Amino acid sequence: NAGVTQTPKFRILKIGQSMTLQCAQDMNHNYMYWYRQDPGMGLKLIYYSVGAGITDKGEVPNGYNVSRSTTEDFPLRLELAAPSQTSVYFCASSYGSDGREYFGPGTRLTVT
Amino acid sequence: AQTVTQSQPEMSVQEAETVTLSCTYDTSESDYYLFWYKQPPSRQMILVIRQEAYKQQNATENRFSVNFQKAAKSFSLKISDSQLGDAAMYFCAYSPPGANSKLTFGKGITLSVRP
């Protein structure tokens, strides 16, 4: 049981480039989330999904897109990367019934 | 909108002593969940403890316990017999129940443990 996995662990992008952060979970959780964590700050919700085919915006969605074609996978797409998107990105999943979320190890992204 | 406030950016505790980390939150809901997450330098988010708002009894997990004051919207974490491995950032978080389940985090507090 791998839990929540994220790839890559680290990435450096140039301004204007695009990339997809991968997230997968093997716990059959319906709910999945993407957060970003800026230095010295708490996590902020980017997008979330309550099931395959259903996604919704969180607090800071601008500059990002998501899709949820399967229960297991929830990729986050960055289009036209900007320095403001330099952050650590966490994916999480949950059953949705008890609030408890399980986090991946994070992806450190730098945009220069 | 729900907000979570952690007003202390840093705290320090002597090894084997007890420390309390503070958190307040704002919500109009009567049913919700509260959490404390630990983030060590590895940056992995680790769930420390969870409290259900409809339960009056304070949650405990080994050396970790909470003081949940629903009327005051206060949710503090007490760490007893502090260990060097407790040094980390600690985040307080709130989640509504059911279909709206998603976490709102405070800014976190950095806890250092002196040997």
Domain assignments of chain A as residue spans, ordered by start: 4-97
CA distance B52 to B47: 14
For B13, residues 6+ apart whose C-beta sits below 8 A from its C-beta are B19, B79, B82, B86, B111, B112, B113, B114
- Residues A95 and A29 sit within 8 Å (Cβ to Cβ): yes
- Residues B20 and B80 sit within 8 Å (Cβ to Cβ): no
Higher pLDDT residue, A22 or B1? A22
Please give the average per-residue pLDDT across A91-108, as a whole number.
90
Helices vs. strands in chain B: H and E counts, helices first: 0, 12
Closest by Cα among B98, B100, B108, B102 to B45: B108
> Which residues in chain B touch residue A50, judged by CB atoms under 8 angstroms apart?
99
To test the contact with chain B by mutation, choose from A101, A102, A108 the residue with the greatest count of B C-beta atoms within 10 A, namely: A101
Helices (H), A1-112: none
Write down the pLDDT at residue A94: 92
- Residues A99 and B35 sit within 8 Å (Cβ to Cβ): yes
To test the contact with chain A by mutation, choose from B10, B45, B94, B107 the residue with the greatest count of A C-beta atoms within 10 A, namely: B45
CA distances from B106 to A4, A32, A43, A90, B8 (A): 23, 20, 8, 16, 11
Write down the pLDDT at residue A9: 95
Write down the pLDDT at residue A41: 86
Write down the pLDDT at residue B96: 87
Residue A97 has pLDDT above 80, yes or no: no
CB contact under 8 A, B105 and A42: yes
Residue A22 has pLDDT above 80, yes or no: yes
Q: Is B14 exposed, middle or buried (0-12, 13-18, 19+ CB in 10 A)?
A: exposed
Residue A40 has pLDDT above 90, yes or no: no
pLDDT (tens digit per residue) in A71-94 = 999 999 998 999 999 999 999 999
CATH number for domain B3-114, candidates 3.40.50.300, 3.40.50.720, 3.30.420.340, 2.60.40.10: 2.60.40.10
> Which residues in chain B touch residue A92, judged by CB atoms under 8 angstroms apart?
45, 103
Domain assignments of chain B as residue spans, ordered by start: 3-114
> Which residues in chain A touch residue B44, judged by CB atoms under 8 angstroms apart?
103, 105-106
Residue A98 has pLDDT above 90, yes or no: no
Q: For the domain bounded by A4-97, which CATH number is listed?
A: 2.60.40.10
To test the contact with chain B by mutation, choose from A100, A107, A108 the residue with the greatest count of B C-beta atoms within 10 A, namely: A100
- Residues A49 and A68 sit within 8 Å (Cβ to Cβ): yes
Residue A21 has pLDDT above 90, yes or no: yes
pLDDT (tens digit per residue) in B56-111 = 899 999 999 999 999 999 999 999 999 999 999 999 999 987 767 889 999 999 99
Tell me if chain B has a CB within 8 Å of the CB of A34: no
pLDDT (tens digit per residue) in B8-44 = 999 999 999 999 999 999 999 889 999 999 999 999 9
Residue A96 has pLDDT above 80, yes or no: no
